[in-house]
Amino acid sequence: MNKIRSLACALFAALLALNADPCHAKEYVLLGKLGDTLLCDDATSKTQGIAKLDLYKDEIGEAVMGEDSEGSFTLYVQSAADHESYLLHPFARSKKYEKLPCQEGEFFRGILYDKKNKGPAVVAQKDTELADLVTIIPGQRRVKTDIDDCIFIRSNVVRERIPRGHQSAEEMANRFPKHESEMKRNPSLRWILAGQSALITSYNRGMPGAMAKGGKRKNTQLFVSRKSGDSCLHHNDDVGNTYTYDEVVVVRGEARIEGDYSPLKYSGNYCFYFPGADEVVKCTVDPKMMIVFTDPTTAFFAKGNDLYKMPISRTGCGTPAKFLSLDFEVFQMFPVPEKKP
């Protein structure tokens, strides 16, 4: 009897342990730099091919994931050079990338996810005409959309094209009185919308147009918690690439090691911002490691064809450990929602 009881206890403890690990049994969609798309089980590290996007001498420029108007989990991607846009339903019966059709002479810039209208939002440009941010919904219908309804991890769209993509220091000072003194210290510099998730908005302060030779550039970022309105101003010696994930913002540092206007080199310095925090968490990893996804407990990095994960928290971070080797370089990872549409 005692044996059965101890066995039951052990089983219960094992179940609790499984439950305690929030990453356990999570699935991710892995998107390769050249369009390979896989489904990966985090617990077993097993992968399963989904689809391959054939990009002619091009690579993925940006990608977002979200539900489409029929509630189906959809991946939206855009190529880096030609700005060709595609969508994929990873769990549909037919797993094939479909091109988002443009009108004649038109092309899309950037690909954001419009949460309100449930579709991809793009700047639809025709030759050199200015265009609005619109959401493409099935049947080629287009709806003018608002940037506040859109989410994007990072984007290659020139932000002047997006309403409120650039804001003056004065506008920002009015919106965030807590940082008024900092905004007024450099009144001529504009603030650029760097990324947005459902919970966080990130801004980068634009660089001054002219710099004295040997002048030191400082990068300044503002992270805003969209729910509570809390904000955190962060100064960085590195130039930062900002990635705004659902619950965490990550800044990958790039430094001009050989002086101003010399090529940027990744420094390996990463900063993590959690909503509501007053300070960022700083970590240093191998400079070749590129962030591909972060949730509040684990950061995922790609280095060559290997994937690494590193535990993180609001107080610090651990050491990256390799957990998967693939035959392509990962560009971005997306967690699959528990309820697969």
Residues that bind other proteins in the complex, under the rule CB under 8 A: 54, 56-58, 80-83, 107, 109, 125, 127-128, 154-159, 161, 190, 192, 194, 204, 206-207, 209, 239, 241-242, 261, 263-264
CA 55/CA 185 separation, integer angstroms: 46
CA 139/CA 313 separation, integer angstroms: 44
Residue 83 or 89 having the CB closest to other proteins: 83
According to DSSP, residue 159 is labeled G
CA 286/CA 252 separation, integer angstroms: 11
Residue 87 or 189 having the CB closest to other proteins: 189
CA 341/CA 72 separation, integer angstroms: 5
How remote is the C-alpha of 265 from its chain's centroid? Answer: 20
Residue 242 or 294 having the CB closest to other proteins: 242
CA 100/CA 97 separation, integer angstroms: 9
Closest by CA to 252, choosing from 230, 219, 297, 279, is 219
CB of 172 closer than 8 Å to CB of 203: yes
Closest contact distance (angstroms) between CB of 325 and other proteins is 25
Residue 117 or 125 having the CB closest to other proteins: 125
Closest contact distance (angstroms) between CB of 208 and other proteins is 9
Burial class (CB in 10 A: 0-12, 13-18, 19+), 214: exposed
Closest contact distance (angstroms) between CB of 56 and other proteins is 4
According to DSSP, residue 237 is labeled S
CB within 8 Å of 316: residues ≥ 6 apart: 281, 283
CB of 42 closer than 8 Å to CB of 27: yes
Closest contact distance (angstroms) between CB of 154 and other proteins is 7
CA 16/CA 300 separation, integer angstroms: 24
Residue 83 or 309 having the CB closest to other proteins: 83
Residue 71 or 259 having the CB closest to other proteins: 259
Residue 59 or 67 having the CB closest to other proteins: 59
